[in-house]
Amino acid sequence: MIKMRHAALLVLTFACANARADDALYKQFGEKDGLTKIVDDMYDNVLSDPRTAPWFDSAPVVRIKQKLVEQLCVLLDGPCVYTGRDMKRTHAGQNIDRVAFNALVEDLQAAMDKNGVSFHAQNKLLAKLAPMYREVQDRE
């Protein structure tokens, strides 16, 4: 009986440790409040960037920011659910090319820098975002 309790305690300890490890990246971004600040700053950047502004000038700002925070939270293993549409459908017909996608990434990096996100944490997020290019781009 004591061995079973020890085993159960050991399993529970590892489960808790893994839960904390899984959201470590999310915490490095400042959790939801931090992500909201990063998205706000990124949005300011894309609106002032001539390479990205045309895609955001008349876009529904509040909705886009909300969905970006949700999406980043999910990618960072945070406790969120993404409620937006899939990337392919959302960006269909927008003629997004590699130049525009890379410019958006640069604008995001500037926002992460401004908010004190470490280079290592930024790279982990960018590695998760990179495959999305295939989903948002129109064939070049």
Distance between CA 116 and CA 14 in Å, rounded?
A: 30
pTM of the model: 0.78
Residue 78's φ and ψ, nearest 5 degrees, are -85, 175
Distance between CA 112 and CA 107 in Å, rounded?
A: 9
Taking only the tens place, the pLDDT of each residue in 86-100 is 776 766 666 778 888
8 Å CB contact between 46 and 107: yes
Residues of the chain above pLDDT 90, percent: 54
Q: What is the pLDDT of residue 82?
A: 87
Q: Map out the domains of the chain with their CATH numbers.
A: 25-136 (1.10.490.10)
8 Å CB contact between 71 and 82: yes
Calculate mean pLDDT across residues 69-86: 90
Determine whether the annotation assigns residue 120 to a binding site.
no
8 Å CB contact between 73 and 27: no
